[in-house]
Amino acid sequence: MKIRLLAAACAAALLSSSAPAFCAARQQTLTVFAAASLHNAFAELGKQFEAAHPGVSVRFNFDGSQILETQIANGAPADVFASADQRSMGKAVDAGLVGAPVDFTSNSLAVVAQFDVNVRSLRDLTRDGLKLALCAEQVPCGRYTRIALQKLSADKTYWPRYGDQVMHNVATQEQNVESVVQKVVLGEADAGFVYATDAIQEGGAHLIAIPVPDQDQEIPTYPIVSVKASANKDLAQSFIDYVLSAKGQSVLQTFGFRGHA
């Protein structure tokens, strides 16, 4: 309500000579720290949120969730934290940096590969000479990938040492999932484990996407929360509410995310 009143007052002031000073005093910037895999979806959500809240500017910081949590712990100014996993969010909660998070969406793993490297199944990732890109182990997508490799090694469809054979082909380990995608897009890696949303958004005509079966992975769930040190708590909660709303969920699903419970 406060935001709407300020916006209405600012709009009214536009009719008077005092408009520039009046409105400038009521400009607000919302800083959202969000997992790299949310980049495209949250950029669109930010545009819609700004349109619905005149005078508000949404600024994003996208990176690996573990990096974002560390930045907040070190005093980086943030109003909202959206993580790609429960572990990074749990560290922020345990440190007293944030309030009570709520899950707002989920994802799944996939492999993206260059068309000309002849990777058409998960079994092909064990082929000698293949250059594979992964997220580092401390990164959510890296942890999810290693869990999937363990599960695939126990799946009778594959081999008992499947995960070890795949890891033997790892040529680079990145600090966020966007970097993995770029390694494959640029041809610096033949294939890489990413989120299904990355495969949808970045695959284009040059990459093939191979989904990881749900039973062979831990489904990534994404929590969101306001940061306790925020000076814009009401605005932060309004953004979180928008993400959870039907409009917000529709945007997320457009970019390939799954609905939240």
| CATH number (domain holding residue 160) | 3.40.190.10
Count how many residues are written for the chain. 261
What is the side-by-side order of every strand in the sheet holding 132-135?
170-174, 132-135, 191-195, 109-114, 207-211
Structure confidence at residue 155 (pLDDT)? 86
238-255 mean pLDDT: 97
**What's the number of domains the chain is made of?**
2
Alpha carbons 55 and 203: distance in angstroms, whole number: 36
Alpha carbons 184 and 198: distance in angstroms, whole number: 12
Q: Is the pTM of this model over 0.85?
A: yes
Same domain, 83 and 136: no
Same domain, 113 and 212: yes
223-229 mean pLDDT: 98
Q: Is residue 28 part of a domain?
A: yes
Q: Is the pLDDT of residue 124 over 80?
A: yes
Residue located via tokens 């995608």: 181
Same domain, 227 and 101: yes
91-113 mean pLDDT: 97
Same domain, 121 and 187: yes
Alpha carbons 77 and 157: distance in angstroms, whole number: 48
Q: Across all residues in the chain, what is the average pLDDT?
A: 90
Which range of residues forms the domain containing residue 149? 109-216
155 three-class SS: coil
CB 187 within 8 A of CB 180: no
233-260 mean pLDDT: 95
Residue located via tokens 């580092």: 136
* pLDDT tens digits for range 44-55: 999 999 999 999
Alpha carbons 136 and 86: distance in angstroms, whole number: 17
Q: Is the pLDDT of residue 135 over 80?
A: yes
Q: Is the pLDDT of residue 156 over 90?
A: no
Same domain, 168 and 131: yes
Same domain, 211 and 123: yes
Report the range of poorest mean pLDDT among 9-18, 44-53, 64-73.
9-18
Using pLDDT thresholds of 50, 70 and 90, give the confidence band for residue 109. Answer: very high
Question: Which residues are bridge partners to 57 per DSSP?
Answer: 29
Same domain, 43 and 93: yes
Structure confidence at residue 203 (pLDDT)? 54
Angle between helices 65-73 and 86-94 (to 10 degrees): 10
Residue 115, CA distances (Å) to 22, 202, 205, 210 in order: 56, 14, 9, 12
Residue located via tokens 């000698």: 128
Q: Is residue 259 part of a domain?
A: no
Q: Is residue 62 part of a domain?
A: yes
